[in-house]
Amino acid sequence: MALKMRRNHAPQPPGECALTLCMGVIGGAWTVNVIWCLRAGPRRFSELRADIPPISAKVLTARLRELEESGVVSRLVKPTSPPSVEYSLTDLGAELVPAIDSIVSVGHRLKSIRSGRESAV
């Protein structure tokens, strides 16, 4: 006998789902790492590459462009010779930091539970 489908009584956001929209912005590979590195202040491209060694220049460029388009990161061209570019979080981007901090906190708890299970085996 098939189980009866239950209705979801959680309130649905009006229009486009805000959760889906936000996860679309931060859900890309390395995106959260870029935001994490920019939380301490402006960074140049080469500094971000050093902060996240496994990321390729191509992917970092793509993530920075996506974050800039979505209003999370700002790009400032410095009038130096040669010109340099600094990336920093916008006010909107800074609002993501507490959410990422919370995710990291849960990750630490999950890691301790997992390591506790592995040592018990």
Residue ranges and CATH numbers for the domains of the chain are: 26-120 (1.10.10.10)
What's the rounded mean pLDDT across residues 114-118? 81
Residue (of 33, 15, 8) closest to 103 by Cα position: 33
pLDDT digits (tens, 9 = 90+) for 45-77: 999 999 999 999 999 999 999 999 999 999 999
Residue with the bigger pLDDT between 99 and 8: it is 99
Separation between Cα atoms, residue 89 and residue 108, nearest integer Å: 25
* Beta strands 73-78; 84-89: pairing state: antiparallel
76 bridge partner residues = 86
Separation between Cα atoms, residue 28 and residue 41, nearest integer Å: 21
In the chain, % of residues over pLDDT 90: 69
State both tokens at 15: 């229009």
pTM for the model stands at 0.80
Name 63's Cβ contacts closer than 8 Å, sequence gap at least 6: 28, 29, 30, 31, 34, 55
